[in-house]
Amino acid sequence: MTIDLPTPDQYGQDISRDLRTRINKKLSINENWMSFDQYMNCVLYDTEFGYYHNGSPKFGSAGDFVTAPELSGLFGRALAEPIINIIEQMRDPVILEVGAGTGQLAVDLIGTLSAHSVYPRYYILETSAELRERQSSLIASANMKVEWLDSLPTKPIQGVVLANEVLDAMPALCFTKQDGKMHPLGVQAEKGNFVWSPGKEDYELSKIVKAIEKRLGYVLPDGFRSEVCPARDAWITTMAGIIEKGAILTIDYGLTEREYYHEQRNSGTLSCYFKHRMHRDPFKWPGLQDISVWVDFSACARAAEKIGLSVAGYTTQGQFLANSAAIQQLGIADTEDEMRVVQSLKTLLLPGEMGERFKLLLLSRNLLQNSLPGRDFRDRL
Ligand SMILES: C[S@@+](CC[C@H](N)C(=O)[O-])C[C@H]1O[C@@H](n2cnc3c(N)ncnc32)[C@H](O)[C@@H]1O
């Protein structure tokens, strides 16, 4: 199926051409093949031409997608509730936000926390120098204090590691099953374009997918394709390693393992965003579109439990927001501004929008009590 996407401006086309050249060079020294996680890493994180580094607008109406903090300050206000419950249990708490986008969530959270007289140290860990600059100017204009880290804290922290829509942006491996064997689905160059290319059967990948099949109790059919993301599990392990007391709170598109690898979800979850059009071709305009792979929250929970964290909460964004005090205390909308709030709330809450697709996972260590507002879906993980 061909996708009808708008043509980028000349500046964008030049960036995409230069990135393409760089990827072609990598392919040429590796027998014209790279795994999908390597490709995703190049197109999103090449430090010059990659999507998160090349200066494209990304967020909001001029960009490619809208995240919850960009839609409404209510999201940050609602997130402040479980965060306050956690950091109130500490003397010198820290919030470490990973992948802070424009910095909007930091502004909303710090504002809400100070309204409750809660003043944690706020750190941001951001891989993109360009986004770090955008965050810095927004946070400075709000007169707030944040410290940017170049690497993870070397000493254990007490507090909350927060990541909204970051785990879906981590490079994932795509695979397909053929004749009962698991093959990585990689990338090759063909007539000036990049195309999918199945690689040789891969032992490590087979081991991961066979373990999934064993837990599910059925064998995935031939032709099934999907993704796994060892980088995400490694991220959870690393973050868990720096938390002495506190929690990781992640919010993202995602599913449980059983939903993710359901026989009917046989073409995976990979999604691309260009100028607010969602499609499934990661080879269109490399460097100019966002690529995301949904999160397997069961895998995140397993990685966390392996390193001693407890799964303290798992619910949908819709459930979480509908049960948060920030939203329950809203009045009836009768002005235009309030109507706009209602409109953004519908997008955040409704099942057909972000309400069901987005989930919150809370992973904790050494906390007295903590949970998330909304229905508890932990038994589904
Ligand atoms: C889709 S944006 C989400 C931004 C923001 N959290 C929001 O909700 O608007 C993904 C963000 O994660 C950052 N990012 C991706 N991988 C990262 C990593 N491993 N460590 C830190 N930041 C990362 C990107 O640069 C970007 O800021």
- Please say if the pLDDT value at position 339 is more than 90: no
161 part of a folded domain:
yes
What spacing in Å lies between the alpha carbon of 95 and ligand 1's midpoint? 16
70 part of a folded domain:
yes
- Please say if the pLDDT value at position 334 is more than 90: no
Residue-level pLDDT at 2: 66
In what order do the strands lie in the sheet containing 271-274? 277-279, 271-274, 290-292
Question: Is 41's C-beta closer than 6 angstroms to any atom of ligand 1?
Answer: no
C-beta separation of 360 from 254 below 8 A: no
Question: Is 125's C-beta closer than 6 angstroms to any atom of ligand 1?
Answer: yes
What spacing in Å lies between the alpha carbon of 163 and ligand 1's midpoint? 8
Residue nearest to atom 4 of ligand 1 (CA): 101
What spacing in Å lies between the alpha carbon of 351 and ligand 1's midpoint? 24
User: Whose structure tokens read 């995976």?
Assistant: 268
What spacing in Å lies between the alpha carbon of 166 and ligand 1's midpoint? 5
Residue nearest to atom 11 of ligand 1 (CA): 99
High-pLDDT (> 70) share of the chain, %: 97
Number of domains into which the chain is organized: 1
How far apart CA 224 and CA 256 sit, in angstroms, is 18
Residue-level pLDDT at 326: 84
pLDDT in tens, 287-300: 999 999 999 999 99
Residue-level pLDDT at 60: 84
User: Whose structure tokens read 């706009």?
Assistant: 340
Question: Is 96's C-beta closer than 6 angstroms to any atom of ligand 1?
Answer: no
Q: Ligand 1: which atom is nearest the Cα of residue 68?
A: 8
- Please say if the pLDDT value at position 332 is more than 60: no
What spacing in Å lies between the alpha carbon of 61 and ligand 1's midpoint? 18
User: Whose structure tokens read 């839609």?
Assistant: 71
> What DSSP line would sit under 74-101, residue for residue?
HHHHHHHHHHHHHHTT-SS-EEEEES-T
What spacing in Å lies between the alpha carbon of 148 and ligand 1's midpoint? 14
Residues 6+ apart with CB under 8 A from 337: none
Report, as an integer, the average pLDDT of 333-358.
Answer: 74
203 part of a folded domain:
no
Residue-level pLDDT at 116: 96
- Please say if the pLDDT value at position 342 is more than 80: no
The kind and range of the H/E element at 305 are helix 297-306
327: confidence class by pLDDT, cuts 50, 70, 90: confident
| Nearest 10 degrees: Cα torsion 376, 377, 378, 381 | -170
Residue nearest to atom 24 of ligand 1 (CA): 99
Question: Is 165's C-beta closer than 6 angstroms to any atom of ligand 1?
Answer: yes
Question: Is 44's C-beta closer than 6 angstroms to any atom of ligand 1?
Answer: no
193 part of a folded domain:
no
pLDDT in tens, 189-242: 999 899 999 999 999 999 999 999 999 999 999 999 999 999 999 999 999 999
381 part of a folded domain:
no
Question: Is 100's C-beta closer than 6 angstroms to any atom of ligand 1?
Answer: yes
What spacing in Å lies between the alpha carbon of 359 and ligand 1's midpoint? 17
What spacing in Å lies between the alpha carbon of 62 and ligand 1's midpoint? 18
187 part of a folded domain:
no
How far apart CA 287 and CA 58 sit, in angstroms, is 11
pLDDT in tens, 98-132: 999 999 999 999 999 999 999 999 999 999 999 99
What spacing in Å lies between the alpha carbon of 125 and ligand 1's midpoint? 9
12 part of a folded domain:
no
Question: Is 72's C-beta closer than 6 angstroms to any atom of ligand 1?
Answer: no
Question: Is 381's C-beta closer than 6 angstroms to any atom of ligand 1?
Answer: no
For the four alpha carbons of 261, 263, 265 and 266, in that order, the dihedral sign comes to positive
Residue nearest to atom 1 of ligand 1 (CA): 165
Domain hosting residue 251, numbered range: 44-170+229-375
Please write down the long-range contacts of 128-132, taking CB distance under 8 Å and 24 or more positions apart.
128/52, 128/53, 129/47, 129/53, 130/52, 130/53, 130/54, 130/55, 131/52, 131/100, 131/101, 131/102
Q: Ligand 1: which atom is nearest the Cα of residue 125?
A: 21
Amino acid sitting at position 116: H
What spacing in Å lies between the alpha carbon of 168 and ligand 1's midpoint? 9
| CATH for 76 | 3.40.50.12710
- Please say if the pLDDT value at position 76 is more than 90: yes
Residue-level pLDDT at 370: 76
Residue-level pLDDT at 1: 58
Q: What are the CA-CA distances from residue 115 to residues 110, 118, 222 (Å)?
A: 9, 7, 56
275 part of a folded domain:
yes
Q: Select from 40, 45, 127 the residue to mutate for testing ligand 1; criterion: most ligand atoms less than 8 Å from CB.
A: 127
Q: Is 362 helix (H, G, I), strand (E, B) or coil?
A: strand
Choose the weakest-confidence range: 181-185, 332-336, 356-360.
332-336
Q: Count the neighbouring beta carbons within 10 Å of the beta carbon of residue 114.
A: 11
What spacing in Å lies between the alpha carbon of 101 and ligand 1's midpoint? 6
The pTM of this model reads 0.95
